[in-house]
Structure 1
Amino acid sequence: MSIHRDPVLGHWYLDEQNRLLEVTGLSGHQGLVEFRYRDGQVRELPLAEWDDMSLCPVEDPPETEEE
Structure 2
Amino acid sequence: MQEHRIEPVVGQWYRDADDRMFEVVATDEDSIEIQFYDGDVEELEMDIWDELAVIAIAEPNDGSGPFDDFEDELNTLAEEYHPRHWGV
Q: TM-score, normalised by structure 1?
A: 0.84
Name 1:32's counterpart in structure 2.
Answer: 31
Bigger helix share: 2
Aligned length: 64
Q: What do residues 10-56 of structure 1 show as CA deviations (whole Å, max 9, x unaligned)?
A: 0000011111000001012xx10000000011110111100100101
SS at structure 2 position matched to 1:9: coil
Q: Percent identity?
A: 28
1:1-67 matched pairs, under 5 angstroms: 4-28=5-29, 31-65=30-64, 67=67
Measured on the aligned residues, the alpha-carbon RMSD in Å equals 1.7
Which gives a bigger RCO, structure 1 or 2 (Cα 8 Å, sep 6+)?
A: 1
Runs of at least 5 residues in structure 2 that lack an aligned partner in the other structure: 68-88
- Of structures 1 and 2, the larger Rg is shown by 2
Q: TM-score, normalised by structure 2?
A: 0.65
Structure 1 segments of 4+ aligned residues over 4 angstroms from their partners: none
* Residues 3 and 41 (structure 1), Cα distance of their counterparts in 2 relative to 1, 3 Å cut: farther
Bigger strand share: 1
CA distance in 2, matches of 1:24, 1:44: 10
